[in-house]
Amino acid sequence: MDNNYLVLILIAIAIAIVVQMILNYLSSRRSITESLSERPRIRVKVTCVNGDFNYEREFIEGDFVGKIEGKCDKCGGLLIISAIYAEKPLTPIKRSEEHLKHRSKISQ
Ligand SMILES: [Zn+2]
């Protein structure tokens, strides 16, 4: 009789541990996908030293502010990385706001 109780308790503990492991696994998976979708993109702003040309691109490993990118197509001056910044991905709501702002700018 005492032995049966012990077995039941052990089974209950085993089930509790398995359930806990499944919950941990599910929550860790969710946090990984959330962190992936919220990971900010790193953008690099490249500017001509004469200020007549600039563009933005994705960050590439080894980029730093002041790095010479090449020569300006317009004036032959140096293109230099002037800024590196993290861009938070826009949420759907913000994106639609941005869209509206853009539309109102066109209509003005
Ligand atoms: Zn230039």
Whole-angstrom Cα distance, residue 80 to residue 54? Answer: 9
Whole-angstrom Cα distance, residue 83 to residue 72? Answer: 17
Per-residue pLDDT of the chain (108 residues; tens, 9 = 90+): 578 899 999 999 999 999 999 999 988 887 777 666 667 789 999 999 999 999 999 999 999 999 999 999 999 999 999 999 998 766 655 555 555 656 655 555
The answer to whether residues 28 and 77 belong to one domain is no
pTM over 0.85: no
Task: Give distance in angstroms: CA of 55 to centre of ligand 1.
Answer: 11
Task: Give distance in angstroms: CA of 83 to centre of ligand 1.
Answer: 17
The answer to whether residues 30 and 52 belong to one domain is no
The answer to whether residues 16 and 30 belong to one domain is yes
- In the chain, the largest separation of any two C-alpha atoms, in whole Å, equals 93
Residue with tokens 């696994």: 25
pLDDT at 11: 95
The answer to whether residues 66 and 91 belong to one domain is yes
Q: Return the number of other C-beta atoms located less than 10 Å from residue 46's C-beta.
A: 20
The answer to whether residues 32 and 83 belong to one domain is no
- Give residue 94's Cα distance to chain centre: 16
Nearest-5° Cα angle at 52, 48 to 58 = 50
The answer to whether residues 47 and 79 belong to one domain is yes
Contact 53, 71 (CB under 8 A): no
The answer to whether residues 49 and 102 belong to one domain is yes
Task: Give distance in angstroms: CA of 59 to centre of ligand 1.
Answer: 21
Task: Give distance in angstroms: CA of 57 to centre of ligand 1.
Answer: 17
Residue with tokens 């800024």: 83
Share of the chain above pLDDT 70, in %: 76
Structural domain of 31: 1-37
